Amino acid sequence: GGGATFVNDNLALAAKDYRETYDYYTHYVLLGPLKHTDHEYGNYVKSLVVTRTIDDLGSVGLFASTLNAGGFALTNNGGPYAAGTNAPAAQSALSGGTLAAAVGGSSLAAGVAGGAPTAGAGATGLVPTLSFGGITVKLPSNPNGYFVVSKTPNSRYLVETNPLFGVGQNFVGSNYLEQRYGYNPDTVQKHLGDANYEGWLIRQQLVAQTGRNIMVGYASEADQMRRMLDNAYAQSGRLGLSYGAAPTPGQLANLTQDMVWMVSQTINGQQVLAPVVYLAQSTRDSLESGAAIAGSDVNLNLTKLANVGGTIAGKNTLSVVSQGDITNTSGKLKGGNVALTSTAGSIINQTLEEGDRAHSTALGRIAGIEATGNLRISAAKDVLVKGANIDAGGNASIAAAGNVTFDTVEKVATDTTFKSDAVRAGGMTLSSSSEVKTTTTARNVGSNLTSGGKLAISSGKDITIAGSKVKSGGDLDMEAKGDVNIVARQDRITTHTESHQEGLGVGGGLWGSERVVKDEFEGINFAASTAAGGNARIKAGNTLKLEGSDLSVAGDADLNAKDVKILAGKDEKRSHTETETLTLISGATSKTGSSSGTETGAKAKGREASASASASAEASADAQVKLFTSRKEKTDTLDVTSRGSTLNIGGSLKAKADNTLKLQGAEITTGGDLALDGRNVEIVAAQDVHESTTTAQEVSLNLSSANKAGAKAEASAQASGKKLSASAEASAKASASTDNVIGVAITDEKSSELDIINRKTVLKSGGNLKMKAKETLTLQAADITAAGDVTQQARDIRSLAADDVHRSTSEVKTTTVGIYVAAEASAEAEAHAKANLTGASVGASAEAGVEAGYGLHVGHETEKTSKGGTTAQVTTIKA
């Protein structure tokens, strides 16, 4: 008490890696003298922060059958990160261990090849060695040690307890196993050591393989040895073991209990039987590594607990009562039945998340609270689980006076790439380009809460399940005095790209440059899910919200709150692009046109006749060249796809709200009845939206020319028999004109596009379906189907359509200011003749002219277009 602390630390060493990659490529061109830089492409990638454990002291800590501790703050520090390639591997009986020890002159050194004599420290000769069970044994060489090589002729043991110490046998040796088999001691092969030496060998093997000398569940080393020999006897027949022969890998794969088996070994030219420890796979899987505090029953009464990367385990029970916070960071709290209580603080189970969340993060091992039996978690303040797991094989209950939160941690990574390209020939740069692209990706790692039996969660404030999974094998009961939120988080990809290029042909002209800056964002709905193998009751004092997430119940479901909101989540994409372009000599255009026509006519009546003919031709030609162009363009796009929440109920569903019950783009399916009840009930559509807007301004220096030419000819004749007269006329005209303008044109462009598609709410009931509102029932674009009856009850029922929309608009305004030069030429000729009884006359005339002018040219032109339409989505009801 009084501020006392206890720290268990395995001194884990962590490393952080930063990776940078550079690539360069060279492409050669055919023109001019070549250098290695004439055409180069570079690539640069940088990945930030990978954190890993590279070394620690292995399994260190407290191990007991029953462990009771209290009155202090406990800190259990292990390695919170996943092991890297340099981290020590877990030990096993087959792989060998790392151990060095000395007892009575005997020593062990793991990994040394067995069977060959080696020189010991201070020895005058070679000392025989033997390797098995993950250890290497040197025969005792000190005559005054606790163990010595037996000097008794025909002794049954190669090594025995030194008679000078006068101690008895503290262990049940392998003789016990041979007696159970009924072997005659006089005919059995010599043993490596007596019972005490065999006990010592078993201790060293267990320490090498597990880090402890007594495994959880055993009262003492002697008890442990007897039970392991009993396990060998019980399993030998089923496995087909032969006394003195090492088990095969196949036999060990079927081992279900830890055992000690006698295996024949050769040392110093003679065969001896040595006790070898073999651990079942289930035991190896359950071994706690790093900083560990373990026992059969572990009871901790503390002022505070901080477990960072370590393990606190009680095989039968684990009970932790803390005045302050209980914090488990990338570690394990586990046992049979597990009870965690904070009487004045919070309980926090979290996966370590470090780094700059805007650019990169490193995550530690997934934290966990595990119970093979029942689990109880109770906090005076909050229960917070972030990117971590809670698992109970039996029933589970979680209670907090404050908030209960299951949320995500984010794995954030940033990559930057750089590309450059240049084409040179004859000492000249023909074109060049470069691009820098930075992409930041944030991926959510959710929490998991699983119970094999019933699951109860209660909160004095809010319950939040965000981007996480809750699964109950039995009934689920969830109640908060505040809000219950089962909501999605969002995976995010953010990209920033800057590119530049210049040279021949860029921008569509003779020469140009272009700079593009683009920002892109993609958000992906990361759903939460809640599932119950039995019935489910979810109650909130304020708002119950399910957004972009899923609820699955095998039995009946009851939802109750002041406001119930079943809403759609969303996937979204956004982009903003700015483009600046400069171009020299571009946009050369030409347009030509021509037309021609002829017309003739004749008629006769009595003694009079007339005839006429005409012909015309016209031609035009226009051309324009942009000497210089500057263009700036901005484009914004938005795409939103709704992700409706789903409710799959095997039995009946009752959803009741004191105020508003709202379903938006949801899909609800029940095997039984479906009942919706609220003051106002709103069943409406969610929307998918596509929107884009582009604005641009172009300023250009233009040279344009318009030319036109035309000609026309006409002729006519008349004759009269009555008057004895005749006349004829002919005329011809020709003209040509040209207009030339040099000036500045400013063009402003604006365009937009909008698409809205409604996603209906779908209700499917395997029984009756009832919608009841005290005031208003609103149905908008819903599909409602029931195997039984459909009932609508409200003071005001509104059935509305939801309009799918498509609309696009564009507007182009062009203003031209410049100087024009115009010229026009024309020519005209005419002739006529006339004759009658009194005389004849003939006449002709001709005229030609040229005009020219110049001045200021100002022009303004606006072009607008708009189109679109709507399609109604209506409500359908089938029963």
pLDDT, tens digit, 9 for 90 and up, residues 682-694: 999 999 999 999 9
In the block, residue with structure tokens 């009832």: 770
Judge whether residue 661 has pLDDT over 90.
yes
Q: Residue 203: what are its φ and ψ, rounded to 5°? A: -60, -45
CB 844 within 8 A of CB 809: no
Note the pLDDT tens digit of each residue in 158-179: 999 998 886 767 778 899 999 9
Q: State the average pLDDT over residues 609-630.
A: 63
Categorize the per-residue pLDDT at 410 as very low, low, confident or very high, splitting at 50, 70 and 90.
Answer: very high
pLDDT bin (cut points 50, 70, 90) of residue 562 is: very high
The phi, psi pair for 217, rounded to 5°, reads 105, -5
User: CA-to-CA distance for 565 and 569, rounded, in angstroms?
Assistant: 12
Does the structure show a pLDDT above 80 at 392? yes
Give CA–CA dist 801/858, Å, rounded.
51
**Per-residue pLDDT band at 526 (split at 50, 70, 90):** very high
Tell me the two tokens of residue 47.
């990945």
Give the Å distances, CA to CA, from 624 to 409, 588, 749, 815: 61, 5, 20, 16
User: What average pLDDT does this structure show over 665-680?
Assistant: 98
Joined together, the tokens standing for residue 671 give: 């095997």
Q: What is the mean pLDDT of residues 53-77?
A: 76
> What amino acid is encoded at 780 in this protein?
Q
Looking at residue 49, its pLDDT comes to 52
For residues 494 and 429, the model is more confident at 494
Say if CB 784 and CB 769 are below 8 A apart.
yes
pLDDT in tens, 234-273: 999 999 999 999 999 999 999 999 999 999 999 878 899 9
Residue 318 predicted with pLDDT over 80 = yes
State how far the Cα of 659 lies from the Cα of 247, in Å rounded to an integer. 71
Which is nearest to 735 in space by CA: 630, 840, 619, 814? 619
Assess contact for 366 and 352: CB atoms under 8 A. Answer: no
* Mean pLDDT over the full length of the chain: 82
The CA–CA distances, whole Å, from 786 to 54, 544, 791 equal 61, 25, 10
pLDDT exceeds cutoff 70 at 825: no
Scan for tokens 């300023």, then name that residue.
Answer: 699
Tokens of 325: 């916070």
Q: What's the CA gap between 462 and 402, in Å, rounded?
A: 7
What DSSP character marks residue 408? -
- pLDDT number for residue 94: 28
Torsion of CA 301, 305, 309, 311, to 10 degrees: 10
Supply 144's token pair.
Answer: 């005054």
Which pLDDT score, from 0 to 100, does residue 20 have? 58
- Segment 838-851 shows an average pLDDT of 54
Residue 196: φ, ψ to 5°: -65, -40
Burial class (CB in 10 A: 0-12, 13-18, 19+), 246: middle
Q: Which residues pair with 339 in a beta bridge?
A: 319, 376
More confident residue, 134 or 791: 791
Q: Where are the domains of the chain?
A: 100-285, 287-561, 575-878
| Structure confidence at residue 295 (pLDDT) | 87
pLDDT average, residue stretch 736-756? 82
What is residue 249's three-state secondary structure?
A: helix
Whole-structure pTM over 0.85, yes or no?
A: no
What pLDDT is attached to residue 186?
80
Going 462 to 467 to 470 to 476, the CA torsion angle's sign is positive
Buried-state track 534-564, b at ≥16 Cβ within 10 A, e below 16: bbbbbbbbbbbbbbbbbbbbbbbbbbbbbbb
Instruction: State the average pLDDT over residues 94-113.
Output: 28
Tokens 């090849």 belong to residue: 113
Q: What are phi and psi of 186, to 5 degrees?
A: -75, -20
Nearest to 557 by CA among 463, 674, 406: 674
d(CA 858, CA 809): 27
233: left (phi over 0), alpha (psi -120 to 50) or beta: alpha
- Spell out the residues 6+ positions from residue 184 whose beta carbon is closer than 8 angstroms to its own: none
Instruction: Report in angstroms the alpha-carbon separations of 133 from 73, 90, 278, 606.
Output: 39, 14, 8, 139
Between 362 and 853, residue with greater pLDDT: 362
Residue 2 pLDDT class (50, 70, 90 cuts): low
Average pLDDT over residues 750-763: 96
Q: Is 844 exposed, middle or buried (0-12, 13-18, 19+ CB in 10 A)?
A: exposed
How far is residue 825's CA from residue 106's CA, in Å, rounded to a whole number? 125
